[in-house]
Amino acid sequence: MSPIDNATNGHVTKEDSPSAAVQMIQTLTERVVTNIKKVIVGKDDTVRLTLIAVISQGHILIEDVPGVGKTVLTKAIARSIGCSFKRIQFTPDLLPSDVTGVSIYNQKTGNFEYRPGPVFSQFVLADEINRATPKTQSSLLEAMEEGQVTVDGATYRLPTPFIVMATQNPIEYEGTFPLPEAQLDRFMMNISIGYPQPADEVNILVRQQYSHPIDSLEQVISAEELQQMQTAVHEITVKREIAQYIVDIVTATRNHPNAYLGASPRGSLALFRTSQVLAAMRGRNYVRPDDVKLLVSPTLSHRIIVAPAARQKRVTAASILEEVMTQVASPDTPANFRR
């Protein structure tokens, strides 16, 4: 994957000077990235990918081995934006009411009172989500899609912004319950952090000699500013040729012989919206094919189910997407996508 940065990538001319919305998104995202770098060392691309999903109002599935900073990344983003944060440790004995809340009878008033669960937070870390039973996992479905929960027939709105960042270990499957396709599809992105480079790991050790940097991390933007970015990104132009390119990619995953199930229309929308954010972060008022290509894997890989016969041949969703990208023709010259 190419580096994800705030560079204009050499495609912005005087005629394409960034709009006020683009400048705001660039300034605020760089402020957040700089702040998070105090805690997450050497993973700028991962941080920016995560921010792209947050600005796109999407949920994130972080699939990686233990100890690489999944929880710290979630906390750092929540603190940098000044949002409330709650962590739910998913275990086999966790109940749906432990997530969404429960109605308790008040003997003094004679009425049932609703006690909100930990899902009522702006950033929710669903740690090791695949260790909970399918019934408990499904308690997040309504929250992730509609921003609300229904308990005992009553519906309660969740705070805004509302982002679920779930983690799971891709190595250890004993005692786990794989996420169903319906729930995987609700995650806008599937990303990994990976091990740090040796030099970066030394820096991590030095920084944590006396205390953890997360303890002194300060807020650099507000939740209101995040919501302004989430609204402003809709102004980024996506020409019909780019939209067609996105649909062609997604359609190719559905028709691929090694795919039992391809990406859904929700996947198309995820690729569309995140491409808008990346274009803005790169200083452009319009989306280019390069923006789309960069985000194909994190937005679509978890939505593809490999056919059983192909899985035995070690075919993966990533290899299917690589083949799809070589088959689908990319639109032509950058000038075609400006306003």
Provide the residue type at 191 as one letter.
Answer: I
DSSP state of 294: H
The first and second tokens of residue 300, run together, are: 């679509």
Question: What does R_g of the chain's alpha carbons equal in angstroms?
Answer: 21
Per-residue pLDDT of the chain (339 residues; tens, 9 = 90+): 445 665 544 444 544 688 898 999 999 999 999 999 999 998 999 999 999 999 999 999 998 888 888 889 999 999 999 999 999 999 999 999 999 999 888 888 888 888 999 999 999 999 999 999 999 999 899 999 999 999 888 899 999 999 999 998 877 667 788 888 888 999 999 999 989 999 999 999 998 888 888 999 999 999 999 999 999 999 999 999 999 999 999 999 999 999 999 999 999 999 999 999 999 999 999 999 999 999 999 999 999 999 999 988 999 999 999 999 999 998 865 555 554
Give the integer Cα–Cα distance in Å for 78 and 86: 10
**Homologous superfamily of the 14-337 domain (CATH):** P-loop containing nucleotide triphosphate hydrolases (3.40.50.300)
Give the integer Cα–Cα distance in Å for 79 and 92: 29
Give the integer Cα–Cα distance in Å for 186 and 188: 6
Domain boundaries along the sequence of the chain:
14-337
pLDDT at 210: 87
pLDDT at 152: 86
Pick the closest to residue 79 from 126, 35, 144 (CA basis): 35
Alpha helix positions (H), 109-186: 134-137, 141-146, 181-184
Q: Are strands 305-306 and 259-261 parallel, antiparallel or unpaired?
A: antiparallel
Pick the closest to residue 320 from 291, 298, 297 (CA basis): 297
